[in-house]
Structure 1
Amino acid sequence: MLLDAAQWQDKIFIDGAWEPGSGGTAEVSEPATGASLGSIGIAGTGDLARAAESAAAAQREWAALPHSRRAAVLRRAAALWAEHAEDISWWNIREVGAVPGMAGFAVHNAEQECHEAAALPGRSYGELLPSEEPRLSMAARMPAGVVGVISPFNVPIILGIRSVAPALALGNAVILKPDPRTAVTGGVTIARIFEEAGLPPGVLQMLPGGADVGQAMVEHPLVRVISFTGSTEAGRRVGELAGRHLKRAHLELGGNSALIILDDADLDAAVNLAAWGGFFHQGQICMTTGRHLVHERLYDEFVDRLAAKASALPVGDPATGQVALGPVIDAGQRDKIHALVSASTGGGARLAAGGTYEDLFYRPTVLADATPDTPAFAREVFGPVAPVARFTTPEEAVRLAVTSEYGLSLGIVTGDAMRGWELAQKIPTGIVHINDQTVNDEANAPFGGVAASGTGSRFGGPAANVEAFTETRWITMRGKAPTYPF
């Protein structure tokens, strides 16, 4: 059994073995019920140092293997995601609070990420360059070495595997630090998949831990690239520390994505898109539609319809019932959501639906009459909250869209797709969807944001992955050594 607890319980994965971590253990809790699902090992900074040494040694042998051997491991990993989809999805539902559809999508995406990565080892890894000298001149892509991956709690499978798989395929070793709150889904599962797929010992290490372990990872000289997904606040610290240590950091950070509904939009379609973009996975997605901008001609009816839909959506335990929303991850996240909703209504926004919770189940919430000063409009909520603002002209919609410091995803709903495309050119984001909502993901598509949302499209697609996880080397060869003047 892939996730047999007897193997990983109270352990980390280091140097090819499941061992206790020096940081003790942490309980794995089910957000929906508070029940214990087991416990994981927690790494300390000493474990990180050991893992870095082990990974660096293993990386050299891994990179030296024929490209077909590396590709075969990635293909086997893809098959294992499919083979164990039911078991992995069960953990995703229980540990993360994902509804079954979200859990299944995450496993499917992980399978596709491995398929896409399996094609990377066989790709051309360089180019011939013209030279003024009688020599062969070329630029070659080389593995970066050891890649540190720091992944968050909210979509732990996807946000871990999308860095782990291509980094491994391109000849790197990886140290994965998942969020301890979802370390079985986002850490143990990935380690077990590659262990079963035949990845040599030491090439992948899995160390759940706190901020001290993340800092040690960024600081360690053998870790040459950091791939971080998380909040903008934490990402700034990671980027600053990485810069101090002269290493690359690929940062996929927060978002507060806008959905613009133009005056010629189909209202039924717009409400459906807004509900999905705003409430899916309890709003705990970086691409969540955080700002709903609606033309004044449609505004009142849109608010009424979205509020009615929100009020009718079932919220509950996704492991036991047919629900649209499960629990948020913990009480701290719930209280942050509620504080933003309360501050928004206190500042003049109208509560059209929701705004209440029971335990960790937060009702989908609609805040009408939002402005750029409304706290839930101005900040990333990371919860099922839909602030709605009105506009009168496309120019005003653009002004509202660009008020945010973030630049991750953008959705535009219109009866004229070219009109939406023209509007999108005025709003800088890393992703844009015409006649769709803001939450989309495919393994072969570039993913990333601009401004406070991160450092660009460093995930998805062969070009982005090769750029992210390799270094460029200039190489020349002569048949005979030249003679220099002295």
Structure 2
Amino acid sequence: MASSYINNPKYAFLKELGLKEENPGVFTGEWGGNGNIVDSINPATNEVIARVRQGNTSDYDRAVYAAKEAYDKWSELPAPARGEIVRQIGDKLRANIQQLGKLVSLEMGKILPEGVGEVQEYVDICDYAVGLSLAIAVTKLIEDVLKQNKLPPGLCSLVCGEGDVGNALATDPRINLVSFTGSTEVGRIVGQHVQARFGKVLLELGGNNALIVLDDADLDMVVPAATFACVGTAGQRCTTTRRLIVHEKVYDEVVKRMTKAYKQLESRIGDPLESTTLIGPLHNQAGVSKYKATVAEAIASGGKVEIGAKVLEDRRGNFVLPTIVTGLPHDHPLVLRETFAPIVYVLKVKNVDEAIAVNNEAKQGLSSSLFTQNLGNIFKWIGPKGSDCGIVNVNIPTSGAEIGGAFGGEKETGGGRESGSDSWKQYMRRSTCTINYSKALPLAQGIKFE
């Protein structure tokens, strides 16, 4: 069935990015693919945008061969020359940022500012000169830059594939480092495969993030911050706030204000490409099913739905209402389980020490936030007995990160760090080099051989 998107003037950016009805999902210097064809679905309508011909393990092997060949030439370029190429890639992406941002919104359901923000982060990464992530439209643009500089296109190999391709990559001794972003369950498998061959692995996995509100917090700051962190990207960020830990003195007021804020959101749920939309759809029908099952389990376990708990069946697409649940204990299995949907559990605590303990109960340790005006609480929070997460914020949401700061977490979040100096160091081979410029040969422990 032909797509109604490629030739639709509303989606002219698809053709501008070189996309067609069917697109090759493998690039090794030439475009191709010998795997299954998959549909790219618009989650706001569940319509087919276009199709992608995936790669198989043979395609993967060719991609690795091309990348290894390209590495030989790339590694001989001086560092300033390599940096210049990365800068040019950033400029190419910057020139197409609106089209790429719209593509992210169309395929992933992110509202347009978030879609453009994804590409802007990529541009910032190029400016910061660390590793790159890949997608079909982006690879097409990078290919142009490599050709202009007479560099081997294998520097930007791409294989869209299924589990067999992922397994081949994780177990391949030719791959020095595997950087994986995804669920804890899959990340655990990837890590085991890579470490079994003593490869390097960088894991950025799930997060059951908490935002703590103490009794001295500025609630005028808390409510918009928490709302943004709970419902942004329809609750599908790894840094989404999933637990709202509130001091008992302000608990009722916070629940009241959050519920009021959520009531204003339903009219702003819709097409992510529309400028008035604040919340887009869940990415797929499986996400909707998990949302429904989680809400039902929460109610069956004694939780109270303050607002939400509804699939919007009056429209096409995977739209749900952001949901606030109260009444569940902080250690309930449901509360400690990461659900990739806009559901937040509000938990009551007596003091900062209890709040920190509840924050640290989660198996993951990605992002955390504390709202307070007390310096003592702040230093306790950021100290050795404070939050055990990789991201420890004060008076800002759990979502959002600066490109220069290390991004990642502890425990079942995987321990890896993306962005910042921590990231590019992971992509380097660290060597200690000792050079003796003299004619003397001092040996350790003063040992001498005559």
TM-score by length of 1: 0.82
Does 2:415 align with 1:461?
Answer: no
1:197 is displaced (CA, Å) by 2.2
Tell me the secondary structure at the aligned position of residue 250 of structure 2: helix
Match of 2:101 among 89, 104, 107: 89
Alignment length (residue pairs): 418
Does 2:390 align with 1:430?
Answer: yes
Matches within 5 A, 1:112-151: 112-117=124-129
1:181 matched residue in structure 2: none
1:11 matched residue in structure 2: 24
2:179 matched residue in structure 1: 227
Tell me the secondary structure at the aligned position of residue 250 of structure 1: strand
**Structure 1 residues 297 and 216: alpha-carbon distance in aligned structure 2, compared to 1, 3 A threshold:** same
1:196 matched residue in structure 2: 144
1:472 matched residue in structure 2: 430
- After TM superposition, where is structure 1 displaced by more than 4 Å over at least 4 residues in a row? 476-486
2:52 matched residue in structure 1: 40
Counterpart amino acid of residue 402 in structure 2: E
Match of 1:209 among 147, 161, 169: 161
2:346 matched residue in structure 1: 388
Tell me the secondary structure at the aligned position of residue 154 of structure 2: coil
Distance in 2 of aligned mates of 1:356 and 1:85:
35
Matches within 5 A, 1:358-437: 358=312, 359-425=317-383, 426-437=386-397
**Structure 1 residues 309 and 376: alpha-carbon distance in aligned structure 2, compared to 1, 3 A threshold:** farther
Matches within 5 A, 1:199-348: 200-313=152-265, 314-320=268-274, 322-348=276-302
Preserved CA contact (<8 Å) 2:331 2:361: no
Tell me the secondary structure at the aligned position of residue 131 of structure 2: helix
User: Percent identity, aligned pairs only?
Assistant: 29
1:193 is displaced (CA, Å) by 2.9
RMSD: 2.0
Distance in 1 of aligned mates of 2:97 and 2:141:
11
Match of 1:69 among 81, 105, 110: 81
1:375 is displaced (CA, Å) by 4.5
Relative to total residues, which structure has the larger strand share, 1 or 2?
1
Does 2:180 align with 1:167?
Answer: no
Q: Tell me, which stretches of 5 or more residues in structure 2 are unaligned?
A: 1-14, 442-447
Moved more, 464-473 or 251-260: 464-473
2:7 matched residue in structure 1: none
Distance in 1 of aligned mates of 2:403 and 2:137:
19
1:139 matched residue in structure 2: none
Moved more, 353-362 or 222-231: 353-362
1:317 is displaced (CA, Å) by 1.4
Counterpart amino acid of residue 324 in structure 1: L
Distance in 2 of aligned mates of 1:479 and 1:107:
49
Preserved CA contact (<8 Å) 1:43 1:208: yes
Tell me the secondary structure at the aligned position of residue 433 of structure 2: strand
1:440 matched residue in structure 2: 400
1:417 is displaced (CA, Å) by 4.5
Counterpart amino acid of residue 131 in structure 2: A
Preserved CA contact (<8 Å) 1:349 1:374: no
Tell me the secondary structure at the aligned position of residue 26 of structure 1: strand
Preserved CA contact (<8 Å) 1:2 1:192: no
1:227 is displaced (CA, Å) by 0.3
Distance in 1 of aligned mates of 2:16 and 2:434:
47
1:477 is displaced (CA, Å) by 4.2
Distance in 2 of aligned mates of 1:318 and 1:467:
36
